[in-house]
Amino acid sequence: MKSIYKLFLTSVLTITVSCGQAGKEDDRGYIVKRGDMAPDFIINEAGGESYRLSDLRGKVVMLQFTASWCGVCRTEMPFIEEEIWKPKKDEGLVVIGIDRDEPLDKVLKFREEMAVTYPLALDPGAEIFGLFALKEAGVTRNVIIDRDGRIISLTRLFDREEFDGMKKIIFAELAKD
């Protein structure tokens, strides 16, 4: 009986310590955190060019993880287009929608339906997504990367307050020389 009680207390203590150390990002399925160097990967724009994320150093990068079947993504995309991309695209900002595991024809149709002018990129097998978040975690998340390649903001779902906070971070980063 004593050994069962010890095992129970050890388990409770381990769970308590683990939960207490979990950051906000971890609670939302992220496996990266602010301050980390962004994992490098090849970006294959839908119907466009291919390049590495690291090729964008010197620019502020917004990765918007999205999918055509995601209602919250569809809600957020016009705000990204009108409030972030259009006003800041000529100031060193790159916005790339990373479409989770959908074929080219579907991604091109999605871009047309959403009327976004920022590029959408293909992510077969959600391999890029898996560099930033648990593969079973949901889309509608944004990763903001500074000019040096470090993650400076992570969002999840579309919450107006969080979105506005992310915009402030992007605009402040763009204002740095």
Mean pLDDT of 87-93: 96
Mean pLDDT of 26-43: 94
pLDDT of residue 22: 35
Q: What share of the chain is helix, strand, coil (3-state, %, to 5)?
A: 45, 25, 30
pLDDT of residue 18: 33
Domains (range + CATH), the chain:
24-175 (3.40.30.10)
Q: Work out the pLDDT band at 14, boundaries 50, 70, 90.
A: very low
State the pTM of this model. Answer: 0.84
CB atoms within 10 A of CB 38: 23
State pLDDT tens for residues 142-161.
999 999 999 999 999 999 99
Torsion of CA 23, 27, 29, 30, to 10 degrees: -20
pLDDT at 7 over 80: no
Percent of the chain's residues with pLDDT above 70 = 85
Position of tokens 């593969």?
135
pLDDT of residue 27: 78
Mean pLDDT of 24-38: 86
State pLDDT tens for residues 123-135.
999 999 999 999 9
State pLDDT tens for residues 35-79.
999 999 999 999 889 999 999 999 999 999 999 999 999 999 999
